[in-house]
Structure 1
Amino acid sequence: MGAYILGISDDSTRAARKEGDPDGKTVQVPAELSYEEWYNEYVKGSTKYKLQKVMKDKKISGKLIMGPKQLNLDNYTFDDEHINKERDHKVTKEEAVSFMKNAKFALSR
């Protein structure tokens, strides 16, 4: 979860961290922002929070990984029989590669 820090700086802002920020960087938010407002905007409003809620609602297990590292797809093979005929995903190899290269999150089980 993000962090809400109570101290106010000289320029009427306070330090806080956004939920799901892979770098854990601190950002400055308006000093008048209440904890509830901060939580709603920076935590509940985060992509990670929304994905975790969908996972919980749909009973999807696994660890959510935001900004997964890129895979080396040079030796990647595409099993059309399994992916499309057995599982009916209706995806081409090019689409599958694009999905993996552009993934914003992943699930680890």
Structure 2
Amino acid sequence: MSLYPIFSIITVFLALTFVLLHLLASLSEVKKGNHTLGNQFLLIGSSLTTLSLFLYFFFSIVALSLWLIGCGLICYGAVMNGKNNKKFNKSHHLIRFVIDMLITILLYVSLYLR
């Protein structure tokens, strides 16, 4: 039996967890009335990456492109929020960026193994 389906499901699950965490964070801030540009970038980026995960098994190149754009918006929006709130924690943003890159590499490897 091939390990590809197991690897692919685990990768998509990790990516979906990452995306939904940022989507919930942005939605809760928007619900509180905090309509900053950083929160809007987080919301748009989370929506794009969620869409890319739904397209992942059908249109792989389009999904990977949407994933990269969405993750860039998530990272940029989070950095903007940190600087606007005067609570910029460099290590937090660095860890989130590394996790983002690891998931992106796993998605790319999963597409390559197809």
> Is the TM-score greater than 0.5?
no
- Scaled by the length of structure 1, what TM-score is found? 0.27
- Scaled by the length of structure 2, what TM-score is found? 0.26
Normalized per residue, the structure richer in helix is 2
Normalized per residue, the structure richer in strand is 1
